[in-house]
Amino acid sequence: MSASVLACIPRRAARPNDPPIHHPGRRCPARAPPHAATPEACVDVVDSRQVNAPFPVSGDQAHVNENTRIKTLAAATAHAWDAFVIVVGMLKGGTGKTTSAWFIALYYAVVLDLPTLLLDADATSQSAYDWFKVAQAEGFDIPANLVVERYPFDDIAEYIRAKRAEFGAIVVDAGGGSAKLFHEAVTEANLLLVPVAPTKIERRKLVATFDEAERAAARNERDVTAHVVLVKADDRTSLPRNAKDKLLEPEKGEGIGPDRDEPFPLAETVIHSWVHYMEAFGEIPTELSEYAELMKELTA
């Protein structure tokens, strides 16, 4: 295993033929949503107009019967997506994983208009799913393209693989209690987000979290990138500034890499300590502000 499979993978510069950044999946949908990439920019594009068009009745094409048409359509739909998978995890409780997972899922569903799966994989508390049930019970308008499911099991990687073709984005709340489940989820991630509050006790758990993530990334067949996201930051205190310094210039033993002295890959966007986030549980917030900035930064 290389010294740092995760953190050292640079985010490469955009190339002229890259799909637009607002389309995070690797393929285009068979029926492109309004904000998805233009078909020309995508691989394996299936033009639904061709699939659904009546077949010509002359020449060889006349032999194409209704069965073939249905099979073609089914194949096109089955391969419509290869979801962008975001795992939100940190091997500690109460760091802001569920809140982050919900805001990020809403960003993909509402802002990017992608079919989005929010997977609550927290074996201990399952508050992401509770959030959904409460919002439903209280009559909030839940986006039709957002599916929320519980899957707090160790074979989560297999489950994510099975769901990739159905969604444009999959957001996993990996919980904080199971290193095994966290590891398995990271083996299927495109992006790992580790929310951490700017306090000593939270930062201490980062080393163990990144150790586990490195091991999982070595088994991940995609290019997975990882970012620490500072959450619950109160700029009236010195905590966020101190935490940034410690994360970017760690003392020996407090960083990542072979000698544990390399900086953590810290996102520039900071999620502040706002009542808006504290009170968001059980609601469908329409203001995603800092999380929208964060996802724009990390998927650019």
Ligand X SMILES: Nc1ncnc2c1ncn2[C@@H]1O[C@H](COP(=O)(O)OP(=O)(O)OP(=O)(O)O)[C@@H](O)[C@H]1O
Kindly report the backbone phi and psi dihedral angles of residue 54, in degrees, each rounded to the nearest multiple of 5, phi listed first. Answer: -60, 140
What does the DSSP assignment read for 61-103? GGG--HHHHHHHHHHHHHTS---EEEEE--SSTTSSHHHHHHH
We find the least distance from the C-beta atom of residue 293 to Mg ion, in angstroms, to be: 22
DSSP structural state of residue 43? B
Site track for Mg ion across 193-232, x = CB under 5 A: ----------------------------------------
Output 168 or 195, the one with its CB closest to ligand X.
195
Contact criterion met (CB below 8 Å) for 39 and 32: yes
CB under 5 to 8 A by kind: which of Mg ion, ligand X, none does 96 bind? ligand X
By CB under 5 A, which span of 82-90, 125-133, 149-157, 229-237 interacts with Mg ion?
A: 125-133
Residue 191: which H helix or E strand, with range? strand 191-196
Output 187 or 273, the one with its CB closest to ligand X.
273
Report the interface residues with ligand X, using CB under 6 A. 93-99, 122, 125, 127, 175-176, 231-232, 271, 273-274, 277-278
Burial 163-186 (b: 16+ CB within 10 A, else e): bbeebbbbbbbbbbbbbebbbbbb
Bridge partners (DSSP) listed for residue 229? 195
| Burial degree of 275 (CB within 10 A; 0-12, 13-18, 19+) | exposed
Residue type, 62: A
By CB under 5 A, which span of 19-27, 127-135, 147-155, 287-295 interacts with Mg ion?
A: 127-135
We find the least distance from the C-beta atom of residue 119 to ligand X, in angstroms, to be: 13
Contact criterion met (CB below 8 Å) for 119 and 101: no
CB under 5 to 8 A by kind: which of Mg ion, ligand X, none does 228 bind? none
CB under 5 to 8 A by kind: which of ligand X, Mg ion, none does 271 bind? ligand X
Site for Mg ion in 68-107 (CB under 5 A): 97-98
Residue type, 72: T
Taking the C-alpha atoms of residue 218 and residue 178, their distance in angstroms, rounded to an integer, is 19
We find the least distance from the C-beta atom of residue 271 to ligand X, in angstroms, to be: 5
Q: Which one of residues 95, 100, 127, 187 is an interface residue with Mg ion (CB under 5 A)?
A: 127
Q: What is the CA radius of gyration of the chain?
A: 21
DSSP structural state of residue 3? T
We find the least distance from the C-beta atom of residue 124 to Mg ion, in angstroms, to be: 8
We find the least distance from the C-beta atom of residue 105 to ligand X, in angstroms, to be: 13
Site for Mg ion in 14-73 (CB under 5 A): none
By CB under 5 A, which span of 78-86, 119-127, 197-205, 268-276 interacts with Mg ion?
A: 119-127
Output 116 or 127, the one with its CB closest to Mg ion.
127
We find the least distance from the C-beta atom of residue 17 to Mg ion, in angstroms, to be: 39
Bridge partners (DSSP) listed for residue 103? none
Contact criterion met (CB below 8 Å) for 21 and 3: no
Output 47 or 130, the one with its CB closest to ligand X.
130
We find the least distance from the C-beta atom of residue 93 to Mg ion, in angstroms, to be: 8
Chain residues that interact with Mg ion, rule: CB under 5 A? 97-98, 127
